[in-house]
């Protein structure tokens, strides 16, 4: 008896310790986030002390060295690559997820899923060079060398799309798999074919989960850095032509911070303003996606 | 059984059903009368649901399931290679244990099956007619655009029945359609089954012997065989099964001595 | 939630690297004065070794023979990306001959190099593709450093186009100014050139190459070149080469060394009718030639014998390596002056 009481005490010590370390781990991630927001905000304030919000949000030329601070030059390129990426990732990712959840045999799934995981595990810089040395020449072969610049947002966007396919497909598959089996049975019981069941019953039932996946994928595409740094272009350019070079927000941050900036210069502070803008973009997208997911849970629980 | 010369709605002959290597149901020979209610009863795990699902090839959805023998429908074995299970299910509908309306509006829930089956007529009329037949019209006529999931459990189940009859099947298979419902909702479903039997052939699996006794014209008693495969122990007019069973096991089950 | 974290992590990475850079800067500048306090003691060591060395036979002119195996400690250098390949070769050779320490060479641009040398005091040697500015000398003064200039060679800027470009073989500085600023199409500069968009590939604004080009072509005003459309900037010269080879209507410039490496893929344009060659550069008739320097400080060299030895080594052997790297050897008289400066710095 005495022994067992001693044991109990020891075990509780360990538990306290583990609980404390788990708490510290949790607190660490929160503090990191707070620290990032603080640092971003502080430096961005320095920037906005010198550049008006109006100029920042309405200008279409971005050249900090010559006092042009229109975020749209970079934002537009980011939106272009993201849009192109989604054009690629959504249909393909969704098709893969439909195939995996509705059609694939056990064996097919066992083969396809690891392949997708490998795709997700490739370093993005490799994707960057894939864009530059494979996708761009391919586009130039199709549309002509005079039409497609060597650095262009189309190539980067397509490859970002490929990069996020695994993400779209795995999150969408989760959403599709969460659709109760009974709904499929109901559809089949009414004489629906597999395709009708998948497209007209399962897909709509999972639509909010899939939407959430899309939005998270969009914010991933917005934040993607190495591919655009390598393949999209290295000079700000406000253009809607996907075959022209244009620099995205993340690409610009990488290029500028890769050089040697004076710490208190306006270019240096501008990086934080861009970072803060990106932060708010991805944050609001994540908030939206969580709202959607919550709404989606309510339907089934 | 009845000796009339009616052709049967559907009949199983030498039907064996397997899950993988395991024999789940053995040697089923069973003829289902047209426009009657046939109840399938028996202890858990005796394969009555499996047999029910074999009648419209719903078991196909389970990758390891397969069948030998035949299920004749209009003289055609639905397990023949040239038979499309989708076509089978369009004629032999199914209502499930747990109400499973689509997360769509009430209207779309009823219209959907008809739509995919290429229904050309007036959809509003079909929906109203089906909902009336399912005894649900009065309760939902003002909120047809509301989600089917917003209804109560009993209403949802009647919606599922409405959805099934909108496709105009010959036969409706019901897999314990009232087991998830409260007694009042259960009674409504039973009343509805009586009404539906005027037009459709109904086969219903139930755990509830009183229910089988109340609603059905014929009753099939399934039991577990010595090899743990389900067998059709006794099949007769319901009143015979409940008052004058031929087999001892049937009597034991009916009187609650086992199962 | 998982993906949430992913994005956050990505973000942390970008931002953290920036924040780290910022912290690094301030921390180093605090550490710098310590080195001054330590000057006194090692100085005698340095003098001893210098005396020993001078007793040996003089090698390659006036500097004492270096024995890399006898040295320890590290040499920290940073600066011009143009000097980088040259410095890299020299450092490799220094290590090959038995130097046991580390030679760090960061390729961060001349301005960045001086920032580390004069403001944060992180480096012993600063590589530059331009002479040090007065403001940088002042910052160095604040750290108690007096930069000493050692000329190690000459670089010529190469203005290059794709092999497929059949119209541009000779260009004037005025045309260059137009090509890299206001002109939209080639025909805007010269009516005989095609009416196609000019695609511009230029080194990043932090590079000495960019500064030098702006200085020579735009009289130090960077607004026109940065405001030009279809302009790609990169610190990575290979990115530029890739871009320029991509279209017959592309043009760019960078250090001659990179042209030399990619000569089979690129055409170089003569400037004002003058081709880049040993003669034209040496005679300073080629308009886009510039000197290459390394900078250090007498007290650092005396306090850290390995730094003095490294510079000595560079000045002694640079001419054996520089052509291979792709630059032009400094005029012998200039190199001799650099060696003289070394001796003076070491108190001889």
- A10 band by pLDDT with thresholds 50, 70 and 90: low
pLDDT higher than 50, residue A290: yes
Dist CA C73 CA B97 (whole Å): 81
Tell me the pLDDT of chain B averaged across its residues: 89
Dist CA A103 CA A177 (whole Å): 12
Give the structural domain span for C252: 156-289
Q: What is the pLDDT of residues A204-261, one digit of tens each?
A: 888 888 988 999 899 999 999 999 988 998 888 898 999 998 999 999 988 887 665 5
Inspect the interface and report whether the beta carbons of A61 and C15 lie closer than 8 Å: no
Write out A98-127 in H/E/C secondary structure.
HHHHHHCCHHHHHHHHHHHHHHHHCCHHHH
Compute the residue count for chain C. 348
* Assigned domain for C32 exists: no
* Assigned domain for C9 exists: no
Q: What is the ipTM of this complex?
A: 0.87
Asked if residues B204 and B179 have their Cβ atoms less than 8 Å apart, the reply is no
pLDDT higher than 70, residue C197: yes
Number of domains in chain C: 2
Q: What is the CATH number of the domain that holds C216?
A: 3.40.190.10
Q: What is the pLDDT of residues B72-97, one digit of tens each?
A: 998 889 999 899 989 999 999 999 99
pLDDT higher than 80, residue B188: yes
Report the candidate in C64, C104, C65, C71 with the shortest Cα–Cα distance to residue C88: C104
* Assigned domain for C31 exists: no
Domain A58-300, CATH class in plain words? mainly alpha
Q: Which residue has the tokens 């990575």?
A: C236
Chain A residues whose beta carbon lies within 8 Å of the beta carbon of residue B91: 191
Inspect the interface and report whether the beta carbons of B116 and A200 lie closer than 8 Å: yes
Query: Please, what's the b/e burial string for A134-161 (b: 16 or more CB within 10 A of its CB; e: otherwise)?
Result: ebbeebbeeeeeeebbbbbbbbbbbbbb
What phi and psi values does residue A270 have, to the nearest 5 degrees?
-60, -30
- C8 band by pLDDT with thresholds 50, 70 and 90: very low
Domain ranges of chain B: 10-101+172-254
Judgement on whether residues C284 and C161 belong to the same structural domain of the protein: yes
As a whole number, mean pLDDT of residues C237-262 equals: 85
Nearest to B100 among A185, A193, A204 (CB): A185
Dist CA B224 CA B249 (whole Å): 10
Asked if residues A204 and A235 have their Cβ atoms less than 8 Å apart, the reply is no
- What does each C-alpha distance from A295 to A209, A228, A287, B99 come to in angstroms? 9, 34, 12, 21
> Which architecture characterizes domain B10-101+172-254 according to CATH?
3-Layer(aba) Sandwich (3.40)
Judgement on whether residues C147 and C173 belong to the same structural domain of the protein: no
Tell me the pLDDT of chain A averaged across its residues: 87
Inspect the interface and report whether the beta carbons of A184 and B61 lie closer than 8 Å: yes
* Assigned domain for C16 exists: no
Inspect the interface and report whether the beta carbons of C19 and A39 lie closer than 8 Å: yes
- CA dihedral sign, ordered B147, B149, B154, B160: positive
Nearest to A63 among C21, C227, C250 (CB): C227
What pLDDT shows up at residue C40? 39
What pLDDT shows up at residue A260? 55
Judgement on whether residues C225 and C303 belong to the same structural domain of the protein: no
> Residue B39: helix, strand or coil by DSSP?
strand
What pLDDT shows up at residue C226? 86
Tell me the pLDDT of chain C averaged across its residues: 79
What pLDDT shows up at residue A63? 84
Dist CA C274 CA C282 (whole Å): 13
As a whole number, mean pLDDT of residues B61-69 equals: 87
What pLDDT shows up at residue C260? 76
Is A124 touching C (CB cutoff 8 A)? no
Task: Tokens for B142, please give them.
Answer: 């003002």
* Assigned domain for C324 exists: yes
Chains B and C in direct contact, meaning 3 or more beta-carbon pairs closer than 8 angstroms? no
Domain ranges of chain A: 2-50, 58-300
* Assigned domain for C3 exists: no
* Secondary structure (DSSP) of C186-202: HHHH-TTS-S-B-EEEE
Inspect the interface and report whether the beta carbons of A235 and C232 lie closer than 8 Å: yes
Q: What is the pLDDT of residues C57-76, one digit of tens each?
A: 344 467 888 888 888 889 99
Dist CA A132 CA A245 (whole Å): 12
Judgement on whether residues C197 and C301 belong to the same structural domain of the protein: no
pLDDT higher than 90, residue B218: yes
Is B89 touching A (CB cutoff 8 A)? yes
């Amino acid at each position: 008896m005495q022994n067992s009481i001693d044991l109990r005490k020891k075990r509780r010590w360990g538990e306290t310790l583990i609980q404390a370390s788990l708490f510290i781990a949790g607190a660490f991630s929160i503090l990191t986030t707070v620290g990032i927001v603080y640092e971003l905000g502080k430096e961005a304030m320095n920037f906005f002390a010198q550049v008006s919000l109006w100029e920042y949000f309405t200008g279409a030329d971005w050249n900090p060295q010559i006092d042009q601070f229109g975020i749209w030059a970079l934002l537009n390129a980011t939106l272009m690559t993201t849009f192109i990426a989604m054009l690629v990732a959504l249909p393909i990712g969704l098709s893969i997820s439909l195939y995996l959840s509705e059609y694939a045999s056990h064996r097919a799934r066992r083969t396809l899923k690891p392949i997708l995981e490998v795709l997700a595990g490739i370093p993005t810089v490799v994707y960057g060079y894939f864009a530059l040395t494979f996708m761009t020449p391919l586009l130039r072969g199709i549309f002509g060398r005079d039409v497609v610049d060597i650095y262009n947002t189309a190539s980067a966007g397509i490859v970002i799309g490929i990069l996020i396919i695994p993400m779209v497909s795995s999150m969408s598959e989760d959403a599709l798999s969460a659709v109760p089996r009974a709904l499929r049975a109901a559809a089949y019981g009414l004489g629906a074919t597999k395709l009708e069941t998948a497209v007209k019953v399962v897909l709509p039932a999972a639509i909010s989960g899939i939407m959430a996946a899309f939005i998270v994928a969009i914010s991933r595409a917005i934040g993607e850095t190495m591919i655009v740094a390598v393949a999209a272009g290295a000079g700000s350019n406000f253009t809607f032509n996907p075959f022209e070079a244009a620099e995205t927000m993340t690409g610009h941050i990488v290029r500028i911070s890769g050089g040697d900036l004076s710490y208190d210069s306006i270019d240096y502070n501008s990086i934080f303003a861009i970072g803060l803008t990106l932060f708010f973009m991805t944050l609001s997208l994540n908030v939206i996606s969580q709202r959607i997911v919550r709404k989606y849970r309510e339907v089934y629980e | 059984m009845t000796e009339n010369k009616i052709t049967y709605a559907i009949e199983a002959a030498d039907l064996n059903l397997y899950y993988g290597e395991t024999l789940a149901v053995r040697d089923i020979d069973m003829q289902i009368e047209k426009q009657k209610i046939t109840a399938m009863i028996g202890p858990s795990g005796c394969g009555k649901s499996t047999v029910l699902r074999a009648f419209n090839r719903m078991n196909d959805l389970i990758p390891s399931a397969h069948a030998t023998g035949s299920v004749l429908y209009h003289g055609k074995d639905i397990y023949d290679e040239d038979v499309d299970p989708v076509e089978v299910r369009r004629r032999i509908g199914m209502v499930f244990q747990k109400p499973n309306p689509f997360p769509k509006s009430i209207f779309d829930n009823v219209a959907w099956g008809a739509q995919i089956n290429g229904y050309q007529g007036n959809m509003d009329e079909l929906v109203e007619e089906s909902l009336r037949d399912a005894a649900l019209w009065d309760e939902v006529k003002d909120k047809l655009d509301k989600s089917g999931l917003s209804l109560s459990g009993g209403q949802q189940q009647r919606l599922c029945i409405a959805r099934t009859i909108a496709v105009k099947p010959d036969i409706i298979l019901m897999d314990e359609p009232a087991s998830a419902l409260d007694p009042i909702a259960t009674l409504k479903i039973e009343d509805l089954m009586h009404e539906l039997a005027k037009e459709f052939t109904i086969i219903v699996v139930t755990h509830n012997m009183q229910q089988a006794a109340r609603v059905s014209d014929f009753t099939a008693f399934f039991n577990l065989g010595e090899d743990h495969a389900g067998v059709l122990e006794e099949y007769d007019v319901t009143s015979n099964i409940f008052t004058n069973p031929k087999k001892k096991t049937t009597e034991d089950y009916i009187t609650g001595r086992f199962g | 939630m998982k993906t949430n974290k992913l994005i956050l992590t990505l973000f942390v990475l970008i931002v953290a690297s920036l924040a780290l850079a910022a912290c690094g800067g301030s921390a180093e500048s605090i550490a710098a004065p310590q080195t001054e306090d330590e000057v006194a003691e090692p100085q005698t060591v340095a003098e001893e070794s210098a005396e020993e060395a001078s007793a040996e036979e003089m090698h390659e002119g006036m500097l004492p023979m270096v024995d890399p195996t006898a040295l320890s400690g590290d040499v920290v250098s940073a600066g011009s990306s143009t000097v980088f390949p040259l410095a890299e070769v020299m450092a490799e050779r220094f290590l090959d001959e038995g130097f046991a320490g580390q030679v760090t060479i960061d390729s961060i641009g001349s301005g960045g190099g001086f920032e580390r040398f004069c403001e944060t005091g992180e480096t012993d040697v600063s590589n530059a593709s331009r002479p040090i500015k007065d403001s940088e000398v002042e910052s160095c003064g604040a750290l108690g450093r007096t930069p000493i200039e050692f000329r190690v060679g000459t670089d010529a800027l190469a203005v290059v186009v794709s092999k497929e470009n059949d119209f541009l073989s000779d260009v004037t500085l005025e045309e260059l100014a137009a090509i890299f600023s206001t002109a939209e199409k080639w025909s805007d500069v010269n009516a005989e050139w095609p009416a196609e968009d000019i695609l511009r590939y230029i080194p990043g604004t932090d590079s000495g190459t960019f500064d030098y080009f702006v200085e020579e072509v735009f009289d130090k005003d960077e607004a026109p070149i940065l405001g030009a459309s279809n302009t790609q900037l990169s610190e990575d010269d290979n990115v530029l080469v890739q871009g320029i080879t991509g279209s017959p209507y592309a043009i760019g410039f960078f250090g001659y060394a990179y042209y030399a490496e990619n000569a089979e893929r690129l055409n170089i344009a003569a400037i004002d009718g003058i081709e880049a060659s040993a003669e034209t550069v040496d005679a300073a008739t080629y308009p886009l030639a510039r000197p290459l320097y390394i900078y250090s400080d007498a007290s650092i060299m005396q306090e850290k014998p390995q730094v003095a030895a490294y510079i000595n080594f560079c000045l002694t052997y640079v001419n054996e390596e520089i052509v291979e790297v792709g630059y032009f050897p400094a005029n012998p008289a200039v190199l001799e002056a650099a060696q003289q400066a070394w001796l003076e710095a070491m108190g001889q």
